[in-house]
């Protein structure tokens, strides 16, 4: 097994302070089940799942309680056994209100009967493997939440030649993927072999940033005797190396076209947490009922990487990490670059909760936005070759159609432009508004 440096340098990028030392060396701890779990029907990209249970129902761990409602959607399962107390709207990390199933655990944590994997997966039909992944409700656990069974079913006219396993975890502070690679490398290897079989690909690259030598070592050991063209590609430590398009370019030199997908250049990218969930579904037959997330930040008494049941409130999650030792100025669901600011801790953990970050007052600055000084730093930092300053002017003037012409939809909302701007222009916010407008027009047309 080779360990190689990624061959290409993708455009743009920034070097924020990573602050991973707060939780990097903390082993994954299993959190006890909270007294109430609120399981959202929207834990993935696409249509929210349709609730399958009602108030008063008894449920078992792994029982399907939400049914995928469309092609881009995912099933949802009970994270433990207990009683359904309500099916009611609950806030999500992005500020929406979505139906959630409230479960009062019975303390037995009893799995539903019939949980079993596909033992002879190496000889199984790929359709059977994909159906098992769909049944298990797996969606991208790096944060994007794209339903995995859809990603693993590219159309026949999009042949895949390269599988990239994304262990970059380029967001500052977050260390959950790093701990998964250190502690579960062997299971991730099995997940890689399963995906490789499903996609019939020969080339596999495990992408890890150079600031994670322990992850590189653990994966190298676990993959030592794997057959075929499998390599660890060490990426330069630079944000956003974890973004799919940047990673594909850094490793293969191929550029995903504007408005295109990785499959357009023969690639599929799967996060290490997703790969582990695939292994758990195929080998053990288990649907997604928990995930590892990083609870961190200077105010947190005891930052941790936590194995937590889905539906656990952020309040309970923080309590498991000993609360906060000083004032908190900002709470972010996810990482500081692409995460979502939270007004309180009411939101509950989902399959996409990669982290929960608390920032102290001295780490948060309130800037007044000033006029653009045309310094070009945002253009230099943009990994998507966009012109954030130009787009921002257009979007401020509500020239949405013009912004669409300038490819605002290619923006990956990484925040590199805002981070670099000396005038503190709300660039990424403008991009989000522009993209929302385009999406609305598309929906209207449909
Ligand atoms: S947020 Fe969008 S416009 Fe800004 S740097 Fe990232 S991709 Fe470019
Ligand atoms: S970084 Fe800020 S000030 Fe510089 S060109 Fe971009 S928007 Fe203008």
pLDDT at 6: 80
pTM, entire model: 0.94
pLDDT at 46: 87
What's the mean pLDDT in 112-138? 96
Which residue ranges form the domains of the chain, and what is each CATH number? 1-32+125-364 (3.40.50.11540), 377-445 (no CATH)
Which ligand is closest to the CA of 421, given by its number?
2
Residues with CB under 6 A from ligand 2: 372-378, 388-389, 420-423, 425, 427
Most informative mutation of 16, 240, 380, 388 for ligand 1 (most atoms within 8 A of CB): 388
Q: Which atom of ligand 1 is nearest to the CA of 415?
A: 1
Most informative mutation of 259, 335, 382, 408 for ligand 1 (most atoms within 8 A of CB): 382
Answer yes or no: is the C-beta of 403 below 6 A from any ligand 1 atom.
no
pLDDT > 90? residue 390: yes
Answer yes or no: is the C-beta of 408 below 6 A from any ligand 1 atom.
no
Answer yes or no: is the C-beta of 384 below 6 A from any ligand 1 atom.
yes
Most informative mutation of 377, 379, 427 for ligand 1 (most atoms within 8 A of CB): 427
pLDDT > 90? residue 168: yes
pLDDT > 80? residue 7: no
What's the mean pLDDT in 135-161? 93
Average pLDDT, the chain: 94
Q: Which of 263, 192, 262, 166 is closest to 1 using CA atoms?
A: 192
Could you tell me the pLDDT band of residue 74, with boundaries at 50, 70 and 90? very high
What's the mean pLDDT in 139-144? 87
What's the mean pLDDT in 13-38? 97
Which residue's CA is the nearest one to ligand 2's atom 8? 372
pLDDT at 439: 86
Percent of the chain with pLDDT over 90: 85
Distance of CA 301 to the CA centre of its chain: 25
Answer yes or no: is the C-beta of 414 below 6 A from any ligand 1 atom.
yes
pLDDT at 10: 79
Ranking 36-45, 67-76, 396-405 by mean pLDDT, the lowest is: 396-405
pLDDT at 58: 98
Could you tell me the pLDDT band of residue 83, with boundaries at 50, 70 and 90? very high
Instruction: Give residue for tokens 């990573």.
Output: 18
Which residue's CA is the nearest one to ligand 1's atom 7? 411
Which residue's CA is the nearest one to ligand 2's atom 7? 389
Name the residue with higher pLDDT: 320 or 442: 320
Q: Which residues pair with 30 in a beta bridge?
A: 307
Q: Tell me the per-residue pLDDT of 218-242, one tens digit each, with 9 for 90 and over.
A: 999 999 999 999 999 999 999 999 9
| 178: its two tokens | 């790093």
Ligand 1 centroid distance, CA of 377 (Å)? 12
Which residue's CA is the nearest one to ligand 2's atom 1? 421
What's the mean pLDDT in 108-114? 97
Ligand 1 centroid distance, CA of 319 (Å)? 35
Ligand 1 centroid distance, CA of 216 (Å)? 29
Q: Which atom of ligand 1 is nearest to the CA of 12?
A: 5
- Distance, CA of 348 to CA of 276 (rounded, Å): 22
Contact between residue 185 and residue 221 where contact means Cβ atoms under 8 Å apart: yes
Q: Which atom of ligand 1 is nearest to the CA of 378?
A: 5
Ligand 2 centroid distance, CA of 79 (Å)? 46
Could you tell me the pLDDT band of residue 325, with boundaries at 50, 70 and 90? confident
What's the mean pLDDT in 91-104? 94
Could you tell me the pLDDT band of residue 419, with boundaries at 50, 70 and 90? very high
pLDDT > 90? residue 98: yes
Ligand 1 centroid distance, CA of 413 (Å)? 5
Most informative mutation of 388, 395, 426, 430 for ligand 2 (most atoms within 8 A of CB): 388
pLDDT > 90? residue 3: no
Answer yes or no: is the C-beta of 243 below 6 A from any ligand 1 atom.
no
pLDDT > 90? residue 84: yes
Q: Tell me the per-residue pLDDT of 284-294, one tens digit each, with 9 for 90 and over.
A: 999 999 999 99
Q: CB within 8 A of 101, min separation 6: which ones?
A: 38, 39, 41, 51, 53, 65, 66, 76, 78, 84, 86, 87, 311
Which residue's CA is the nearest one to ligand 2's atom 3? 372
Long-range CB contact pairs, 90-96, < 8 A, 24+ = 90/38, 90/40, 90/346, 90/347, 90/348, 91/346, 91/347, 92/40, 92/42, 92/347, 92/350, 93/333, 93/334, 93/340, 93/342, 93/347, 93/350, 93/352, 93/353, 94/340, 95/340, 96/42
Which ligand is closest to the CA of 383, given by its number?
1
Which ligand is closest to the CA of 423, given by its number?
2
Percent of the chain with pLDDT over 70: 100
What's the mean pLDDT in 76-85? 98
Which ligand is closest to the CA of 381, given by its number?
1
pLDDT at 256: 93
pLDDT at 226: 95
What's the mean pLDDT in 187-212? 97
pLDDT at 385: 92
């Amino acid at each position: 097994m080779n360990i190689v440096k990624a061959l290409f340098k993708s455009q743009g990028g920034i070097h924020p302070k990573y602050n991973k030392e707060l939780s990097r060396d903390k082993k994954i701890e299993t959190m006890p089940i909270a007294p109430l779990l609120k399981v959202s029907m929207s834990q993935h990209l696409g249509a929210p799942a349709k609730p399958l249970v009602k108030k008063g129902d008894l449920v078992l761990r792994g029982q399907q309680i939400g049914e995928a409602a469309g092609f881009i959607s995912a099933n949802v399962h009970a994270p433990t056994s207990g009683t359904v107390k309500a099916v009611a709207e609950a806030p999500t990390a992005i500020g929406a209100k979505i139906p959630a199933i409230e479960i009062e655990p019975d303390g037995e944590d009893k799995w539903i009967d019939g949980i079993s994997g596909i033992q002879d997966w190496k000889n199984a039909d790929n359709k059977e493997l994909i159906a098992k992944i769909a049944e298990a409700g797996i969606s991208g656990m790096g944060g994007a939440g794209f339903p995995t069974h859809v990603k693993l079913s590219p159309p026949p006219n999009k042949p895949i030649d390269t599988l990239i396993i994304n262990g970059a975890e380029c967001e500052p502070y977050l260390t959950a993927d790093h701990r998964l690679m250190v502690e579960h490398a062997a299971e991730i290897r099995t997940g890689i072999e399963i995906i490789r079989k499903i996609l019939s690909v020969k080339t596999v690259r495990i992408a890890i940033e150079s600031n994670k030598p322990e992850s590189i070592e653990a994966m190298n050991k676990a993959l030592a005797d794997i057959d075929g063209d499998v390599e660890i590609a060490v990426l330069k430590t630079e944000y956003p190396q974890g973004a799919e398009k940047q990673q594909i370019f850094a490793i293969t030199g191929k550029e995903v076209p504007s408005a295109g997908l990785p499959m357009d250049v023969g690639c599929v990218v799967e996060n290490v947490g997703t790969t582990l969930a695939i292994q758990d579904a195929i080998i053990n037959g288990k649907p997604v009922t928990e995930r590892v997330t990083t609870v961190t930040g200077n105010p947190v008494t005891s930052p941790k990487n936590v194995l937590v049941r889905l539906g656990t409130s952020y309040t309970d999650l923080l309590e498991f990490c000993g609360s906060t030792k000083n004032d908190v100025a900002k709470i972010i669901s996810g990482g500081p670059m692409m995460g979502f600011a939270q007004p309180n801790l009411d939101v509950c953990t989902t399959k996409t909760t990669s982290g929960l970050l608390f920032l102290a007052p001295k780490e948060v600055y309130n800037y007044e936005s000033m006029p653009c000084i045309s310094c070009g730093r945002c253009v230099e930092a943009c990994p998507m070759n966009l012109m954030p300053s130009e787009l921002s002017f257009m979007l401020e003037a509500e020239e949405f159609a013009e912004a669409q012409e300038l490819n605002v939809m290619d923006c990956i909302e990484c925040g590199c432009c805002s981070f670099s701007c000396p005038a503190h222009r709300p660039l990424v916010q403008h991009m989000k508004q522009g993209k929302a407008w385009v999406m609305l027009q598309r929906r209207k047309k449909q």
